[in-house]
Amino acid sequence: MQIDVISDSICPWCFIGKRRLEKAMAERPQIAFEVIWRPYQLNPDTPHEGYDRKAYLQAKFGGTDQAKGVYKMVLSAAQEEGLDFALEKQKRLPNTLDSHRLNHWALTAGVQDAVVEALFRKYFIEGEDIGDPKVLVGVAEAAGMDAAVVAELLKGDADRELVLREEAIARRMGVTGVPCFIVDQKLVMVGAQESDMLLRAIDHAASQASQAAE
């Protein structure tokens, strides 16, 4: 069963949603899942070098203290999923286009889940700048990809237009927020759904597939 997840590398709910999806899939070991992570940029106008995070929080929320109140629910949900977010470590708000390019290459290499997981951990737990090519190459290498090839690809525009086209498709579909789960290319669920809701969608899709095969 294919599950497409439209996501952004700097979306905290996407990391939380990943854990909830993993819980749901673990409940159905008899199903062979293929999870494909699709690109979306929450802040597509972010400059290539990113923003200073404090300046960003000041502009969007009026400062870090105000932002803490906004992120309280996120931190609580993350802890429930066993994720210890360390948002205070984040120094930059990165442009995520290159992280999506890396995710695309990782899909081709068969290591997309490892790369997606590492990008989330680097940003939300370790506070690293996932817009930095050095960080991206390190993630790729740790996942078993060819670091030299990835470094060279990142220097150019390889697959940049492909990623942007794929994101444009999501926007034309009406996606305005992430994560967005597409189960078996039929059922669409927007937001970091609880694992039981994702499980219901999986069961419904499996039931439909079974009926169609009869």
Structure tokens given for 167: 């994101």
Q: Is the pLDDT of residue 14 over 80?
A: yes
* Entry pTM: 0.95
Predicted confidence (pLDDT) per residue in 53-65, tens digit: 888 888 877 867 7
Predicted confidence (pLDDT) per residue in 111-163, tens digit: 999 999 999 999 999 999 999 999 999 999 999 999 999 999 999 999 999 99
